[in-house]
Copies of this chain bind each other. A is one copy, B any other.
């Protein structure tokens, strides 16, 4: 007899069915018991003789065979009159660390993370990762339909992309290596290698000493690099197009997840593009908020999002024209606006989720810029090598997957959008 998933029971023609899952709730009456079985896809009520349910404890994994019965009072309108019951996985606890089956999970986030495998059994907690999976799928589908190739580049690298700070070091057979902050150099190389348009979904590492709601030391970066572009506006168009596509997908695939989190997605996203200097002016005029030179701080991100929401009814805003001094050495200077680069950030509900821009593609210009930044071109030999052979104009961007998930679901902490977060303190589980 084949196992049937809970979500498929309603439409199944079989009357005798076999289900598997975990014991979610036990409610014993005088002779019979109602037991809720939870599988990956949902929860069904099993009705059984009390002598069967006596051996059950919460969170055991079980198999049950029985007759499908329509019952308006049961959750989902269906229950199973269970005749056979098998315990598949025993439990070994005195008391569960927290309740899985309550309306709220009565444990702080740290405790949930300590018992991550157990906390994720709660459907609402696990739902975050259904949404996250749809995000990566939509990212991949959207880009592949535009002839992007998915690539895999090494995460153990010999040199730093951005100057060496805030990187984890690895002992590589006695040599000092690093964990990649981003696939920046490699994705550019792969554009030059003839793939033209590439993307990568892979871990990235930041040895930052921040321990906040929005920082992770290991996260998943959705990276894009695109050759033969006109300028950075093509990249913003691409990201805006992706976000619109993503929302259209999520509306279809994550209905029940959005219901759990009480989220409604807008029909159409049109993202304002505001030069950084103008954003500074808005922040000062409207909120009396001073910004750091050539940048925007966390408070500024929140305020500019508030402004854009009120003015344009949009949750997103592109900040553009960052100054040369605040961008990496590979950022393309804007020849018409001295001191500025053809770069941008994307702020989503007060949180930066993307940095992007056009890159320098001319070998001599890049070498000169590396020097201007006080770096040694010899340290970037393999990177520079690519630029000797007809590197086309190109640019790209990166989206932090956990941050995007966090903001779509209005979560409070980026760790909620990570199966097993790594932060300053946490290396386990």
Interface residues of A (CB under 8 A from B): 3, 5, 20, 22-23, 38-41, 59-63, 88-93, 96, 115-121, 123, 126, 129-130, 133, 136, 147, 149-159, 168-173, 175, 177, 179, 186, 189-190, 192-197, 202-203, 205, 207, 209, 217-218, 220, 228, 361-364, 382-383, 385-393, 401, 419-422, 424, 427-429
Contacts and interface: CB of A to CB of B under 8 A. Distances in A.
A382 B38 CA distance: 24
A382 to B, nearest CB: 4
Residue of A61, A63, A117 with most partner-chain B CB within 10 A: A117
A41 B195 CA distance: 9
B390 A61 contact: yes
Contact of A116 (B115, B121, B193, B428): B193
B156 A120 contact: no
Given A22-B194, A429-B382, A361 B89 contact: yes
A308 to B, nearest CB: 30
Contacts of A386: 117-118
Contact of A363 (B92, B116, B364): B92
14 contacts: A62-B390, A88-B390, A88-B393, A90-B390, A117-B389, A118-B193, A118-B385, A120-B193, A129-B151, A154-B422, A158-B428, A186-B420, A190-B419, A382-B429
A401 B152 CA distance: 11
B390 A59 contact: yes
Given A61-B390, A119-B193, A382-B428, 16 more contacts: A3-B228, A88-B228, A117-B190, A120-B194, A120-B195, A129-B149, A133-B149, A152-B401, A154-B218, A154-B420, A155-B203, A155-B218, A156-B168, A170-B170, A173-B424, A382-B429
Contacts of A89: 361-362, 390-393
Nearest to A383: B429
A389 B91 contact: yes
A203 to B, nearest CB: 5
Contacts of A133: 149-150
A173 B422 CA distance: 12
A151 to B, nearest CB: 6
A419 to B, nearest CB: 6
Residue of A121, A220, A362 with most partner-chain B CB within 10 A: A121
Residue of A89, A157, A173, A203 with most partner-chain B CB within 10 A: A89
Contact of A179 (B130, B156, B194, B217): B156
